[in-house]
Amino acid sequence: MTDNNKKIFLISLGCAKNLVDSENILGLLYSKDYPIVNDIEASDIVIINTCGFLQSSVEEAIEVILDVVERKKGGGIEKVIVTGCFVQRYGYKLKREMPEVDGWLGTGELDKITVMLEQDDEADAPFYIGRPTVLTDHEWPRIQTTPFYSAYIKIAEGCNHRCTYCAIPPIRGPLRSRNIKSVAAEAKAMSDRGVKEINLIAQDTTMYGADLKTGESIEKLLEELVKINGIEWVRLLYSNPYEISYSLLELMNSEKVIAPYLDIPLQHVNENILKSMGRELKGEKPAELIKRIRSYNRNLSIRTTMMVGFPGETDDAFLELYNFVKEAEFDHLGTFIYSPEPGTPAARLTGIPENEVSEYRRDTIMTLQSEISLKKNKAMVGRTVPVLVDGVSKETDLLLCGRTIRMAPDVDTQVLINSGEGIPGEIQDVMITEAHPYDLIGEIV
């Protein structure tokens, strides 16, 4: 049996949605008086919350687990527990392949973390996995690990879409939305402790409330959140391109607290590829969607991701994608190479381009985006814009960094501040003096 004096260190891998799970795990541990440390060298128990969405994330999870297990063999660490998507995806065979791990938890069993710690140390490594149905809410304990002024709120769990390349539905289960009262209560508590920026996350935020059948919607949720005193920015992440309603855009255009920012993973524009992806067009083509979003006078910023190398992607299909990116001039864009994920329908498709071809296509898109980003950034020079100061830059400790309301944390560009007195957590006016492809430089006014 693990006593409450054992110090625990947690490693969180993957996306912001996984980070919220990690914060809930820390909250559960803290509520049971387990000491939490931020240095693995000082820990007795290591918990690894894994991602398992792509092969690259699976490889990262395995690498981290093996590294921690090796530390355990060297002494100091007494127990290693693995949780999250990697466990949910690969199940009980992990126990056989990694016997050095002392416990396993799937995505729907996070509340059993303390039960696992309290079990007899001599017992066989416990493995908790089941159909993912858990939905954390404002009543769950949580320790915020992001900066004190910026936080994520997971408004829903799971997904009802069936994209052929995606392993998320079996890993995370069907769509389960929190009610508006719960989300607002969590946002109010965050505001009370100094949070100024809230980033709303889910597998698909625009589908929020569709499962409740009680009238909840992303628009109604946003209308409640903008009323909370102290919250200055509310940002919407992970939005399905086929669910961007006129009412949502009108609300974003009129409410200044809502960030003029849409994160829309388009993945591709060629109709044959989209059909193979299980993302058939619903009346509106991607170019028409971008035009509709850009028609509002608030000039909404758009972030997207593109996938190259999907089975059946011909030179002509790629050229169509390239020309679309060139024409659309996205504010932020990421490109990744398709990875055939075991168990997904797309993994059975043939006609995957050679890896060298896919790498060339990815690099070509990103070179184009670099040129677009530089052009957009140059247009900012001489302007003074509100910037949320994040603190010392990770790139150089000689500069502060921050973000405008059109930049999401961790994934987008940043503003480097080389003059003036910046205060972390404050929104301050910064005059932009230089532009680079992925960074702006400015000074506090």
* pLDDT reported for residue 3: 59
* pLDDT reported for residue 122: 59
CA separation for the pair 72, 44 (Å, rounded): 9
Alpha helices in 197-342 (DSSP H): 218-225, 246-254, 271-276, 286-293, 315-328
Half-sphere exposure of 12 (CA within 13 A, CB side): 16
Whether 123 shows a pLDDT value over 70: the answer reads: no
DSSP-derived letter for residue 298 is T
Helix (H), strand (E) at residue 28: helix 16-31
439-444/45-50 β-pairing: unpaired
- With beta carbons less than 8 A apart as the criterion, state whether 110 and 21 touch: yes
Helices 246-254 & 218-225 angle (0-180, nearest 10): 10
Average pLDDT, the chain: 92
- With beta carbons less than 8 A apart as the criterion, state whether 176 and 132 touch: no
Tell me the percentage of the chain whose pLDDT exceeds 90: 73
Helices 315-328 & 355-378 angle (0-180, nearest 10): 10
* pLDDT reported for residue 74: 82
CA separation for the pair 64, 40 (Å, rounded): 12
* pLDDT reported for residue 80: 93
- Across residues 271-284, what is the average pLDDT? 88
SS3 of 353, please? coil
Look-up: residue for tokens 């060297």? 74
Distance in angstroms between the alpha carbons of the first and the last residue of the chain: 58
Quote the pTM value: 0.93
- Across residues 215-227, what is the average pLDDT? 95
Whether 399 shows a pLDDT value over 70: the answer reads: yes
Work out the number of other CB atoms within 10 angstroms of the CB of residue 121: 10
Q: Which of 107-111, 175-179, 247-251, 377-381 shows the lowest mean pLDDT across its residues?
A: 107-111
Whether 410 shows a pLDDT value over 90: the answer reads: no
- Across residues 112-121, what is the average pLDDT? 81
CA separation for the pair 178, 92 (Å, rounded): 30
- With beta carbons less than 8 A apart as the criterion, state whether 58 and 85 touch: no
Tally: H helices and E strands in the chain: 13, 18
CA distances from 416 to 35, 115, 375, 378 (A): 36, 45, 18, 15
CA 347 from centroid of its chain's CA atoms: 24
Phi, psi of 96 (to 5 degrees): -75, -40
Q: pLDDT tens digits, residue range 4-46?
A: 788 999 999 988 999 999 999 999 999 999 999 999 988 999 9
Longest CA span, the chain: 66
Half-sphere exposure of 419 (CA within 13 A, CB side): 9
Burial 372-400 (b: 16+ CB within 10 A, else e): bbeebbeebeeeebebbbbeebeeeeeeb
Phi, psi of 194 (to 5 degrees): 105, 5
* pLDDT reported for residue 253: 96
Cross-strand pairs, 434: 441
Work out the number of other CB atoms within 10 angstroms of the CB of residue 223: 14
CA separation for the pair 307, 262 (Å, rounded): 18
CA 290 from centroid of its chain's CA atoms: 22
CA separation for the pair 99, 94 (Å, rounded): 8
Q: pLDDT tens digits, residue range 415-437?
A: 999 988 889 999 999 999 999 99
Q: Please give the single-letter amino acid code of residue 361.
A: R
Confidence of residue 213 (pLDDT cuts 50, 70, 90): confident
CA separation for the pair 360, 73 (Å, rounded): 42
* pLDDT reported for residue 186: 97
